[in-house]
Amino acid sequence: MDILIHPTYFPSISHFVALTQSERITFETADNFQKQTNRNRTYIYSPNGIQLLNIPVKHSKLSHQKTKDIQIENDFEWQKQHFKSLEAAYRSSPFFEYFEDDIRPIFEKKHTYLLDLNFETFDFILKSMRLKLEYETTTEYIQEVDTTIITDFRELANGKKDTSEFESYTQVFDDKHGFINNLSVLDVLFNEGKFALDYLKNQKIQ
């Protein structure tokens, strides 16, 4: 299938289920930025349960700002906080150490634009899964989609509207809090390693 989808921060499992099962990918980059969406946030499984990792962005006086123009607020070290959170969450997972040297550099530099960071996290996941996906980006906002040609998955960027349910797999702290559904794809990667891609290809978005 051909899909239209948003680039997000370490995308959710539902995002990657759609991506790995698509034939052609178009990323929406010309939309107006919406707060409190996965454009600048992701969710992981911490020792205390689900945890939000949020990227601070610079505020503008403009009422509408294009996502591609959104700049990251780097006045405080949110990168270190995020990486420490990932370590606390996944240090004891089967595959965190295997990917640690590749993911650490993402948190050691300061990106100016949110979109650049999101695409770097996307490329990290592709590399980690040894997956090749060709994609293109929009140059203007696509308001209406011909659903006979392309599947619109842009709503997946709004976690509150994403009701996808997936098969359970072993998670680090599931003995404390049970299985937590549809976290960042990092959760599958660190827990399933080389089997993560097979897992994603076998899931369905409801």
Instruction: Give the number of other CB atoms < 10 A from CB of residue 147.
Output: 8
Quote the tokens at residue 13: 């499992």
Q: Are strands 41-46 and 24-27 parallel, antiparallel or unpaired?
A: unpaired
pLDDT at 159: 83
How confident is residue 12, by pLDDT bands cut at 50, 70 and 90? very high
pLDDT at 32: 93
The predicted-structure confidence for 43-68, as pLDDT tens digits, reads as follows 999 999 999 999 999 987 777 899 99
CB of 14 closer than 8 Å to CB of 162: yes
pLDDT at 63: 73
How far is 37 from 171, CA to CA, in rounded Å? 24
Residue 47's nearest CA partner among 180, 159, 160, 168 is 180
5, pLDDT greater than 80:
yes
What residue segments make up the domains of the chain, in order of their start?
2-201
* Three-state DSSP state, 167: coil
Residue range 72-79: mean pLDDT, rounded? 94
How far is 112 from 123, CA to CA, in rounded Å? 17
How confident is residue 206, by pLDDT bands cut at 50, 70 and 90? low
The predicted-structure confidence for 82-141, as pLDDT tens digits, reads as follows 999 999 999 999 999 999 999 999 999 999 999 999 999 999 999 999 999 999 999 999
Handedness of CA 193, 125, 96, 180 (dihedral sign): negative
Handedness of CA 35, 36, 37, 40 (dihedral sign): positive
How far is 21 from 1, CA to CA, in rounded Å? 7
* Higher pLDDT pick, 144 / 116: 116
Residue 37's nearest CA partner among 126, 167, 128, 154 is 154
* Backbone torsion region of residue 131, taken as left when φ is above 0, otherwise alpha when ψ lies between -120 and 50, otherwise beta: beta
Which range, 1-5, 137-141, 188-192, is most confident?
A: 188-192
Residue 197's nearest CA partner among 93, 188, 165 is 188
Question: How confident is the prediction for the chain on average, in pLDDT?
Answer: 95
CA distances from 86 to 31, 51, 54, 71 (A): 29, 10, 13, 23
Handedness of CA 97, 98, 101, 107 (dihedral sign): negative
